[in-house]
Structure 1
Amino acid sequence: MQNKKITKREIASIRKVKLQEHSPIHAAGPVIEPGNWEKYDPFLLMMEDKFQKGAFDVHPHRGIETVTYVIEGAIEHYDSHSGEGGVLGPGDVQWMTAGSGVVHNEVPSEGITAHSLQLWINLPREKKMTAPRYQNLKGSEVPVREEEGAVFKVFSGSSKGVVSPTLNHVPVTMVEVRMEKGAEASQELPGSYKGFIYIIEGIGIFGENEVQGANGQVLELGDGGNAESEIAVKAEGPLRFLLYAGEPVKEQVVARGPFVMNTEEEIRTAYKEYMNGTFLK
């Protein structure tokens, strides 16, 4: 039987994420800048935030999923869909499907500065108005793949046979990886997936072209070809990073504020419904 050809992915670009102070209680910087819809499809944007209680108010979303990863601190969340809340701690993830519409807020606990990453994933046209859904993924409870000097926490998708039960409308792989100095490991991905790596701690060598990346940097993955692919990593010291990759939606994106739809008319409808009180289905 002929072996399947696996594309060894390179790193296409690398950039330092810079946080800017928006107020005395909020600093933020783009990991993925909005507007590059085709380049990062299905991902719309990712923001790194350091914030305290009062930085954000209650706000709506429609047409997207948000994936919030807590680096440090604690975030209390409340949503209109379930009428309930909860607390996310370091290493935890909330996977929120806004779909037809939610009104929610994320608030650091009193006196706490939260440090988080929030990713927006586009929903395809047939899923824009799907029922809202919340999945709270505790870092201590997600499936784990372990090999020598490396631990992969599988928040979504799979890693070398370890499969996450997280429900996806768009196929997405999300893994948190911790590696010891000198360890080498790789993550497999469908070749069609687009993706990126964000380094939380340490320094490593990434990709077939052996790019050095350090904490606070985002690395865009190169093309994966038409079949299977993998991205290789070697840790030059203790290393911690997140890898996100997903299947492109390949649809028109119209984004205004917290709403992402396919047409201007759908955006106007979302704002109208929110203003007149008919937003929540």
Structure 2
Amino acid sequence: MENQGIVRNIISIKKPSAQPGFLGPDHTARAVVYDEFAYSDPFILLMDDFLDKKDDAPVGGPHPHAGFETVSLLLEGEIGDETHMMKQGDFQVMTAGSGIVHTETIEGRSRMRLLQMWLNLPKADRWTTPRVQDLAFENAPSAEKNGVKTVLYSGSFAGLHSPVKNYVPLIVADIRLQPGASLAESLSASYNAFLYVIEGDVAVGDDGKVLNINQIGWLNRGATGESSELVVVAGAGGARVVLYAGEPQNDSIVSHGPFIADDQEEIKGLYSDFRHGKMRHVSTLSDGQRFNY
């Protein structure tokens, strides 16, 4: 590969523990990225939620967001509201921007696993008009070669290009590797990037550091304008990893409850707007604010 720049190596490995979730005894949550924004920019948090609901009582409900985007990848099951139901393998980016209310209600017995990220918005776009983008699994760009299947949900990677529009340059790719298979692809060196192992184990980089199931491996970075190469080799049992890579925005943020802002006064204003009914429900968005791919 010409001008491959740096090789991405693992500089930090974490294994988030499964904690009781807010939806009751059948819900567990792993905080894959949490409370480390100075290090994880532009990723504010990433939760790995698993629900195996065995009764018919509804859980969840409507709640607001503002100042960031939710980036959701459904690994298993179904989840959604009256405007859109996500199925296994579907992807959604909800730009909360100036403020939006959405409903995540699960009625009846259900089994689902959801990766949901809070992605920072550039300071200039923090209060942008809300929008929702849905990319169905069957329409997500994908490629399979040499025992590696890549499904791309956001950005450009491995010769694939997603139709999803981004305020912050973002790559989200679901990568499945057969036993012993390897991937070597270019990646912008300035992107903050990590791998989250869903199944199996992989060796990463030119030093071959191993990541096991449920571990997150943060990768080293280079300078803006440089290229880098991501090298991943599956272990004997094969592997499935999700790659997240995004351009840091280098702006400090204030986080409180469901809101992200630049200062505390803005947080107060968002709570006031929500209490006074100034945030519209996602179901009321116009066609120009909804994108289905």
Give the TM-score, by structure 1 length: 0.91
Contact 1:155 1:164 in 2 (8 A): yes
Q: For 2:178 and 2:277, locate their aligned partners in 1 and report how far apart those are by CA, in whole Å.
A: 52
Task: Tell me which moved more, 165-174 or 89-98.
Answer: 89-98
Q: For 2:196 and 2:215, locate their aligned partners in 1 and report how far apart those are by CA, in whole Å.
A: 6
Opposite residue 47 of structure 2, the aligned amino acid is M
Is 1:233 the counterpart of 2:237? The answer is no
Say if 1:109 and 1:88 are closer, same or farther in 2 by CA, change over 3 A: farther
Give the alignment of 1:175-186 within 5 angstroms. Answer: 175-186=173-184
Task: Report deviation, 1:110.
Answer: 2.3
Q: For 2:130 and 2:115, locate their aligned partners in 1 and report how far apart those are by CA, in whole Å.
A: 21
Q: For 1:268 and 1:101, locate their aligned partners in 2 and report how far apart those are by CA, in whole Å.
A: 13
Task: Report deviation, 1:129.
Answer: 1.2
Residue aligning to 1:63? 67
Contact 2:59 2:106 in 1 (8 A): no
Q: For 1:243 and 1:206, locate their aligned partners in 2 and report how far apart those are by CA, in whole Å.
A: 12
What per-residue deviation string (whole Å, max 9, x for no partner) do you get for residues 35-57 of structure 1? Answer: x1121111100011123474422
Give the alignment of 1:25-174 within 5 angstroms. Answer: 25-34=26-35, 36-51=36-51, 52=53, 54-78=58-82, 85-108=83-106, 110-174=108-172
Task: Report deviation, 1:16.
Answer: 1.4
Task: Report deviation, 1:188.
Answer: 1.9
Contact 1:73 1:108 in 2 (8 A): no
Partner-residue secondary structure (3-state), 2:173: strand
Q: For 2:155 and 2:81, locate their aligned partners in 1 and report how far apart those are by CA, in whole Å.
A: 24
Say if 1:54 and 1:32 are closer, same or farther in 2 by CA, change over 3 A: farther
Q: For 1:72 and 1:108, locate their aligned partners in 2 and report how far apart those are by CA, in whole Å.
A: 14
Partner-residue secondary structure (3-state), 1:202: strand
Task: Report deviation, 1:105.
Answer: 1.8
Opposite residue 151 of structure 1, the aligned amino acid is K
Residue aligning to 2:6? 7
Contact 2:20 2:27 in 1 (8 A): yes
Task: Report deviation, 1:25.
Answer: 3.1
Unaligned stretches of 5+ in structure 1? 79-84
Contact 2:69 2:121 in 1 (8 A): yes
Equivalent pairs: percent with the same residue?
36
Contact 2:181 2:238 in 1 (8 A): no
Q: For 2:162 and 2:85, locate their aligned partners in 1 and report how far apart those are by CA, in whole Å.
A: 21
Say if 1:109 and 1:75 are closer, same or farther in 2 by CA, change over 3 A: farther
Q: For 1:188 and 1:159, locate their aligned partners in 2 and report how far apart those are by CA, in whole Å.
A: 7
Contact 2:4 2:229 in 1 (8 A): no
The number of equivalent residue pairs is 272
Runs of 4+ in 1 over 3 A off after TM superposition: 52-55
Partner-residue secondary structure (3-state), 1:56: strand
Unaligned stretches of 5+ in structure 2? 282-293
Residue aligning to 2:291? none
Say if 1:275 and 1:89 are closer, same or farther in 2 by CA, change over 3 A: same
Opposite residue 73 of structure 1, the aligned amino acid is G
Contact 2:60 2:106 in 1 (8 A): no
Opposite residue 127 of structure 2, the aligned amino acid is M
Partner-residue secondary structure (3-state), 1:271: helix
Partner-residue secondary structure (3-state), 1:273: helix
Residue aligning to 1:81? none
Contact 2:80 2:86 in 1 (8 A): yes
Residue aligning to 1:244? 244
Give the TM-score, by structure 2 length: 0.88
Contact 1:152 1:159 in 2 (8 A): no
